Amino acid sequence: MTDLNELERRVSAARRDVEGRGETFYPGPSRVHLASFPPKERWDDWVELDSRAWPEREEHRYMLVPTTCFNCESACGLLAYVDRDSMQVRKFEGNPEHPGSRGRNCAKGPATHNQITDPDRILYPLKRVGERGAGKWERCSWDDALDDLAGRIRTCLQEDRHNEVMYHVGRPGEDGFTERVIASWGVDGHNSHTNVCSAAARAGYAFWTGIDRPSPDYANADVILLISAHLETGHYFNPHAQRITEARQRGAKVIVFDTRLSNTATHADYWLASYPGSEAAVLLAVANYLIQNDLYDREFMRRWFNWQEYMVKERPDEDASFAGFEAALKGLYTEYTFDFAAQESGLDADVIAEIAQVVSTAGTRLSTHNWRSAGAGNEGGWQVARCLFFLNALTGSVATPGGLHPNAWNKFVPKPIHVPSHPQTWNELNWPADYPLAMYELSFLLPHIMRERDARLEVYFSRVYNPVWTNPDGFAWIEMLTDPKRVGLYAALTPTWNETAYFADYVLPMGHGAERHDIHSYETHDAQWLGFRQPVMRAARERLGEKISDTRQSNPGEVWEENEFWIELTWRIDPDGELGIRGFAESKANPGTKLTVDEYYGHIFENSVPGLPEVAGAEGRTPLEYMRQYGAFEVTPLVGPLYEERIGEEQLEGLAEDLFGRVYTSAPAPAPVNIVPTGAPEPDADGRRAVGVRVDGEVLRGFPTPSGRLEFYSPTLAQWGWRDAALPTYIKSHVHPERMDSGQVPLISTFRLPVQIHTRSANSKWLDEIAHTNPLWLHPSHASEIGVATGDLVRVETQTGHFVVKAWVTEGIRPGVVACSHHMGRWKLHDSGQRQLMATADLNNDGSNWGLRRLRGAQPFESSDPDTARIWWTDVGVHQNLAFGVHPDPVSGMHCWHQAVRVSRAGEGDDYGDIAVDTERSREVYREWLGRARGAHEHSPDGTRRPFWLIRPLKPNREAYRLPEPVSRDGD
């Protein structure tokens, strides 16, 4: 008979013994130990067996160093396994101490290892030799590049040519870091990718809440409604997907709108393959159902909607009581019947009725999300997010458990060491008066605006951004970048080769996620956390006692990080402090010397993160040491409905109140602890600041909107020329059947596959092997109509040209719609560049006619990585965005990605990957869309360029908001 007690004793003793040696008894995670992450107390010396040596027991000793993934915005925690013998990073896994990602990653996180070991990576600063785009480079020193840049910028500042300095960011680093650098130069030169990404959804949220991002509390939701792909690729994909999965395990229902059978749709209880652009019509039908059947949260609506303002301003002759509003509301959406929504969307009216019923059962546990998807695809797409939030507002699921929180309350941005003042300039190249309500810079219009205004940039930086490839109308970008009259110097700050960098004057290598500093905080759930990205080899060597003062000392080659770069550049622009700029790059502890990243982060962690010094102190560490050791800190575990917070007595001095209960105070504002951007409601006529809103006699914090309430009715939209869109409403998209020519179908290009990153995963061999092409999704009925089968070449004609791609015939798409994912079709013109996922192509140009022809696809090659000799794929997809004209939404400024196209069998001369575009035609498209805008010169209610209260990255001072004389559009 087995003596179980004896066995138990032996097992316990053996485990203690093994673990006592610093080894692990049960290596790796298993079902038995659901999350057996290395315990954090053993991160300095962790032992693992080499899987490749199996069945031998070959032990490796590691230092586990946390950092933050840089491969999408989620900022998940990573743990670098630094081999203590070779002092090399052997792999990346999840950081269990990270409150957002909780030890988990998507495929792209561990692939950071491919990026840092990529044999094609750029290791040294390069300077162009010969023409821009000729592909000839010479190695240069950081000093030479910095002096050249600093000299030009200094001259611009001295000659009052501030608007000739521009920084254009793709993947942002630390919240506000570069904005502050640029502001310290007095330049309004921050340009972001947001208007090709999320500006539409942001507008939808901002006009409701004054905060431009949603933060759904998925894990606690009963109903999850996604107009997004958050189970596969969406923003905050991994942190959100794991919480959606938890909710599903609890029995929550998931509703997904997607014209394609996406991975997210495959997990849905309800997959709604609606016609592109019809989403808002369906949402309003659901809203109408809630309204007509009294299924809304009446009390929440009474307290928090700005219904009174709506009644007084828009229905002055009607009963202005809440009952009067309810009566009016019942009449507002009657046309949005299930049948109407069915007619617009092509969905079954019964299905829409069923999801309306499901939504009505959610109570206050309704989580919804739109980020790109329909918002980013359609003209009027911003109303998709606005109509979606309407469902949260109607059900009262705003900042409730399981509801939707405004992101600013689920995010923590600490105060930095230096805060420059607002620039006194306004850059019309980024913020033209034609689009006064644009949420972000009109970055993708830059080549058109530059040409139209005959403008010049003396110094143009791109930072982990690839506009030639990512933006629509890439040939227009090539025209701009290759014209020395337009661009004096272009510096590409990038960790890897990209299509735009080929046209740069300097290519300056910046580190990947494991080679740079940043702090991050994102709205992954109802909490606030701070994650620390750090150069892991620097941190590892410092743990062993080395002192490293410059990240280049620990990075490969001369790869740097932006933070040290910007400090150095700022110093060189103003070496003697004469321009008043140097102070922002100066140490506080040792004035007159340069600020180091250790001081910068040490200061923040010590002074600006509540609770961190105490927690670190309890372990005998400084706050910086704590963050270097664990990589993340939870500032607040649960936030909840901040709008209900009562305003303290000390802030209620010299009160004034407007007609609708907006409360203003003359008491000074307390110093903010969390400097996360939100709307900034204007003071009253006497200069008192908006402090709260009166609700049932109490002064509550409310929302950062002009009214302090949820703006069901947006007075901002109404005043700035969009009265017809001031309520949640349905705007017929530019791909609405009524607006399409015969033979045209909508092309959806707003999606990507889960394992690729927009522009910089070409250097990840694991990801490239999994996904490397982007065929055109076609429904079988459509395919048989034009006589194509899977694998056949098709020509897709857009407004500005065409591209040739392979067909993929699938029932996973709505008939009459085609789709092509946007993360593929990488190319290079010369042998230098990324070889795993970039085709070599020939670029040709004749006047305004441009063409790109693929010469060869990916091929195996010998390198320091034996895997590159095993590359078996040649196809790397097609770069469709080149053939897209620019479509700025007249309100949000978002590029409306969907295209009206004609699809036919490829002809004789067509080859795979061919792209042809006439940029003269693309300028016509630009002007066509410009004609839909309602500019500030015609519509500004107060002589300013833009509502001051709206969020704007790098906000100039109030003076700069004043509208100038209209600009000439003659150009060249």
Partner 1 sequence: MSELLRCLAVLVEPPGAETERIAALLDLPDTPQGWEYNAIFLEQLYPYASVYLDVSGMMGGEARDRIAGFWRALGEIPPPEPDHLGTLLGAYASLADAAPDGVEAPAKRARAAWQRARAAFLWEHVLSWLPLWLAKLEQIGSPTYVAWGRTLGAWLTSEVAALRLPEGLPAHLQAASDLEPPGDDAEAFIGSLLSPVRAGFILTPTDLASVAATAGVALRAGERRYALKALLAQDAAATLEGLAELAAAPPALAGPIGVYWRQRSLRTSRLLRELAAAAR
102 binds ligand SF4 (CB under 6 A): no
Is residue 237 involved in binding ligand SF4 (CB under 6 A)?
yes
Minimum CB separation of residue 4 from partner 1 in Å reads 6
According to DSSP H, which parts of 587-731 are helical?
597-607, 612-618, 623-630, 715-719
* Binding positions for partner 1, rule: CB under 8 A: 1-2, 4, 7-8, 10-12, 14-15, 18, 25-28, 30-34, 49, 51, 54-55, 57, 246, 249-251
Per CB under 6 A, does 75 bind ligand SF4? Answer: yes
What distance in Å separates the CA atoms of residue 768 and residue 766, rounded to the nearest whole number?
5
Q: Confirm or reject binding of residue 92 to ligand SF4 (CB under 6 A).
A: no
Q: Which of 76, 514, 700, 793 binds ligand SF4 (CB under 6 A)?
A: 76
Q: Tell me the C-alpha to C-alpha distance, in Å, between residue 683 and each of 648, 656, 666, 679.
A: 19, 11, 10, 12
**735 binds ligand SF4 per the rule CB under 6 A:** no
Alpha-carbon gap, residue 637 to 610, rounded angstroms: 13
- 3-state SS class at 499: coil
Phi-psi region of 877 (alpha: psi -120 to 50; beta: other; left: phi over 0): left
Q: Name the DSSP letter for residue 658.
A: -
Tokens of residue 341, six digits? 């929504």
Residue 142's identity, in one-letter code, is: W
Which residue, 94 or 420, is less far from ligand SF4 as judged by CB?
94
Stretch touching ligand SF4 by CB under 6 A, among 99-107, 222-230, 408-416, 720-728? 99-107
**Residue 924 interacting entry, from partner 1, ligand SF4, none, C-beta within 5 to 8 Å by type:** none
* 109 is an interface residue for ligand SF4 by CB under 6 A: yes
Q: For partner 1, which is the closer residue by CB, 26 or 861?
A: 26
762 scored as a contact of ligand SF4 (CB under 6 A): no
Nearer to partner 1 by Cβ, of 218 and 961: the residue is 218
**Which of 65, 69, 225, 609 touches ligand SF4 (CB under 6 A)?**
69
Q: To which residue do tokens 């709307």 refer?
A: 679
- The type of residue at 963 is L
Q: Which one of the spans 103-111, 160-168, 335-343, 786-794 is the region binding ligand SF4 (CB under 6 A)?
A: 103-111
Nearer to partner 1, 13 or 129 (CB): 13
Q: How far apart are CA 432 and CA 446, in angstroms?
A: 10
Give which of 411, 399, 404, 296 is closest to 645, Cα–Cα. Answer: 399
Rounded Cα–Cα distance for residues 305 and 307 (Å): 5
801 neighbors 732 (Cβ within 8 angstroms): no
Nearest residue to 810 via CA among 802, 799, 821: 821
Which listed residue (65, 80, 82, 106) binds ligand SF4 by CB under 6 A?
106
Angle between helices 349-360 and 338-345 (to 10 degrees): 120
User: Which one of ligand SF4, partner 1, none interacts with residue 548, CB within 5 to 8 A by kind?
Assistant: none
Using rule CB under 6 A, residue 71 touches ligand SF4: yes
Q: Which stretch binds ligand SF4 (CB under 6 A): 105-113, 243-251, 851-859, 860-868?
A: 105-113
236 within 8 A of 407, measured Cβ to Cβ: no
Nearer to ligand SF4, 69 or 476 (CB): 69
Which residues share a beta bridge with 943?
none
The residue among 15 and 330 lying less far from partner 1, judged by its C-beta, is 15
Tell me which of partner 1, ligand SF4, none is bound by residue 27, counting a contact when its beta carbon lies within the kind-specific cut-off of 5 to 8 angstroms: partner 1
Out of 108, 260, 541, 772, the residue judged to bind ligand SF4 by CB under 6 A: 108
390: left (phi over 0), alpha (psi -120 to 50) or beta: alpha
At closest approach, how far in Å is the CB of 56 from partner 1?
9
Give the residues across from 825 on adjacent strands. none
75 binds, among ligand SF4, partner 1, none (CB under 5 to 8 A by kind): ligand SF4
Say if strands 839-846 and 506-509 run parallel, antiparallel, or are unpaired.
unpaired
In the bound state with partner 1, the residue whose beta carbon lies nearer, of 35 and 589, is 35
Nearer to ligand SF4 among residue 238 and residue 383 (C-beta)? 238
Give the contact letters, 13-52, x = binds to ligand SF4 (CB under 6 A), - = no. ----------------------------------------
**Which span (22-30, 64-72, 140-148, 374-382) binds ligand SF4, by CB under 6 A?**
64-72
Under the binding rule (CB under 6 A), the answer on residue 74 touching ligand SF4 is yes
Tell me: does residue 522 bind ligand SF4 (CB under 6 A). no
Q: CB nearer to ligand SF4: give 228 or 940.
A: 228
Cα–Cα distance, 492 to 204 (Å, whole number): 33
Q: Is 249 or 864 the residue whose CB approaches partner 1 more closely?
A: 249
Do 520 and 70 meet the contact criterion of CB atoms below 8 Å apart? no
Residue type, 204: G
Give the closest residue to 457 by CA, choosing from 187, 185, 203.
Answer: 187
User: Using the rule CB under 6 A, is 508 a contact of ligand SF4?
Assistant: no
Q: Is 238 in the site for ligand SF4 (CB under 6 A)?
A: yes
> Residue 173 or residue 913: which is nearer to ligand SF4 going by CB?
173
* C-alpha to C-alpha distance for 366 and 1, rounded to whole angstroms: 57
Write out 358-385 in H/E/C secondary structure.
HHHCCCCCEEEEECCHHHHHCCCCHHHH
CB of 168 to ligand SF4, least distance (A): 22
| Binding status of residue 105 toward ligand SF4 by CB under 6 A | yes
Calpha distance 336→549 (Å, rounded): 63
605 touches ligand SF4 by CB under 6 A: no
Pick what 26 binds: ligand SF4, partner 1, none; C-beta below 5 to 8 Å, kind-dependent.
Answer: partner 1
| Residue 750 interacting partner from ligand SF4, partner 1, none (CB closer than 5 to 8 Å by kind) | none
Contacts of 510 (CB under 8 A, 6+ apart): 463, 464, 493, 494, 495, 516, 559, 560, 561, 562, 565
Closest CB to ligand SF4 among residues 521, 899: 521
- Minimum distance from residue 238 beta carbon to ligand SF4 (Å): 3
Question: How far is the C-alpha of 971 from the C-alpha of 969, rounded, in Å?
Answer: 6
Quick one: which of 101, 108, 83, 215 has its CA closest to 631? 101
**Structure tokens, 72:** 């999408």
Q: Specify the pairing of strand 849-856 against strand 818-819.
A: unpaired
Q: Which of partner 1, ligand SF4, none is residue 115 near (CB under 5 to 8 Å by kind)?
A: none
CB proximity list for 873: less than 8 A, separation 6 or greater: 768, 769, 772, 773, 857, 858
Scanning 72-80, 398-406, 785-793, 925-933 for contacts with ligand SF4 by CB under 6 A, the matching segment is 72-80
Please identify, using beta-carbon distances, which residue of 95 and 345 lies nearer to ligand SF4. 95
- Residue 34 binds which of ligand SF4, partner 1, none (CB < 5-8 A, kind-dependent): partner 1
With CB under 6 A as the rule, give the number of residues binding ligand SF4: 13
Q: Tell me which DSSP letter residue 883 carries.
A: G
**CA dist 526 to 74, 215, 404, 529, 661, Å?**
15, 7, 9, 10, 28
Shortest Å, Cβ 117 to ligand SF4: 17
11 is in the binding site of which of partner 1, ligand SF4, none (Cβ under 5 to 8 A by kind)? partner 1
What's the half-sphere exposure (Cβ side, CA atoms, 13 Å) at 293?
Answer: 15
108 is in the binding site of which of ligand SF4, partner 1, none (Cβ under 5 to 8 A by kind)?
A: ligand SF4
Select 75 or 886, whichever has its Cβ closest to ligand SF4.
Answer: 75
Contact call for residues 819 and 776 (beta carbons, < 8 A): yes
Instruction: Give the residue from 864, 762, 772 showing the smallest Cα distance to 556.
Output: 864
Q: For residues 94 and 888, which CB has a smaller minimum distance to ligand SF4 in the complex?
A: 94
CB of 476 to ligand SF4, least distance (A): 30
Q: Which residues bind ligand SF4 (CB under 6 A)?
A: 69, 71-72, 74-76, 101, 105-106, 108-109, 237-238
